[in-house]
């Protein structure tokens, strides 16, 4: 986790015009993807989910930066000018965000969320905040389970129309049923969370989630992390010294 964080920081402090340094960093994260043997479908799905947010953040950059104008477009009274500095900013932000996202994907697919929270606690995260994060992810699973039960119950009680080949009635009816399902989901999830909490208290829960596993890295892991951080630092130095 420390190596992934160091990689993300290194990518974002590399100079904007040091494209060979970005190439080395991209090669590093691709090697990590291959070594982790991650399924390509899982990586692509997560990249696709983050792409709309990235586009919203970078689409206006070619038109907002000053500098030499490469092209312009007049829309009514407004002139949209694409500048050289704007294209450089667009490419830099896109590359930085893409590489950072790939590093985060590798971390999320190779490390359990509970292990990441415990590692953050060892790094100084307050214990209370760590417990909130752990309980949040567990209660989200309960929420998803309750939602699936409601969807299954709705499909079991809905007739399939021969004309549309889908369960339920008109759009207004489906909207009303969906609203009722949301309310029922909130009540059922709240009641189930209370039952889970009472069961946790009955089993001795005192505000701290304890495990038998120890988050102690081995010597080989420490050596690998130190070597990875050294390589990441070298890419940053190359970016600063060459340009």
The verdict on residue 66 lying in a domain is: yes
Residues 136 and 107 in one domain: no
pLDDT at 189: 79
Residues 7 and 103 in one domain: yes
Positions of E strands within the chain: 69-75, 78-83
Q: pLDDT tens digits, residue range 149-208?
A: 877 877 777 655 555 555 555 667 777 777 888 888 888 878 887 888 888 888 887 777
156 vs 115: CA distance, rounded Å:
39
Q: Is 158 exposed, middle or buried (0-12, 13-18, 19+ CB in 10 A)?
A: middle
User: Which backbone phi and psi does 162 adopt, to 5 degrees?
Assistant: -70, -25
3-state secondary structure 24-87: HHHHHHHHHHHHHCCCHHHHHHHHHHHHHHHHHHHCCHHHHCCCCEEEEEEECCEEEEEEHHHH
Determine if the pTM surpasses 0.75. no
The verdict on residue 64 lying in a domain is: yes
The verdict on residue 209 lying in a domain is: no
The verdict on residue 208 lying in a domain is: no
Residues 138 and 196 in one domain: yes
Tokens 């667009």 map to which residue?
Answer: 90
Residues 96 and 15 in one domain: yes
Residue-number span of the structural domain to which 54 is assigned: 2-111+215-242
Residues 13 and 94 in one domain: yes
Residues 89 and 51 in one domain: yes
The verdict on residue 61 lying in a domain is: yes
Q: pLDDT tens digits, residue range 170-184?
A: 667 777 777 888 888
Tokens representing 224?
A: 């690998």
Residues 75 and 21 in one domain: yes
The verdict on residue 207 lying in a domain is: no
The verdict on residue 116 lying in a domain is: no
Q: pLDDT tens digits, residue range 79-138?
A: 667 777 777 877 888 888 888 888 888 888 888 877 777 777 777 778 778 778 877 887
Q: Domain total for the chain?
A: 2
């Amino acid at each position: 986790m420390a190596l992934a964080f160091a990689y993300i920081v290194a990518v974002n402090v590399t100079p904007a015009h040091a494209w060979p340094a970005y190439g080395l960093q991209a090669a590093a994260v691709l090697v990590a993807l291959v070594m982790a043997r991650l399924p390509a479908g899982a990586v692509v799905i997560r990249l696709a989910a983050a792409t709309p947010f990235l586009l919203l953040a970078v689409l206006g950059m070619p038109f907002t930066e000053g500098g030499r104008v490469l092209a312009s477009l007049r829309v009514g009274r407004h002139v949209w000018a694409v500048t050289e500095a704007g294209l450089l900013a667009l490419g830099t932000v896109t590359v930085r965000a893409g590489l950072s996202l790939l590093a985060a994907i590798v971390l999320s697919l190779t490390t359990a969320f509970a292990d990441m929270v415990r590692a953050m606690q060892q790094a100084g995260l307050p214990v209370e905040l760590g417990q909130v994060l752990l309980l949040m992810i567990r209660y989200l699973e309960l929420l998803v389970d309750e939602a699936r039960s409601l969807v299954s119950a709705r499909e079991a009680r809905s007739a399939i129309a021969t004309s549309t080949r889908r369960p339920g009635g008109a759009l207004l009816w489906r909207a009303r049923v969906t609203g009722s399902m949301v309310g029922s989901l909130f009540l059922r999830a709240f009641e189930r969370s209370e039952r889970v909490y009472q069961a946790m208290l009955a089993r001795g829960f005192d505000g701290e989630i304890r495990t038998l596993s120890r988050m102690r890295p081995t010597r080989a892991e420490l050596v690998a992390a130190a070597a990875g951080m050294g390589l990441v630092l070298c890419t940053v130095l190359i970016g600063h010294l060459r340009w």
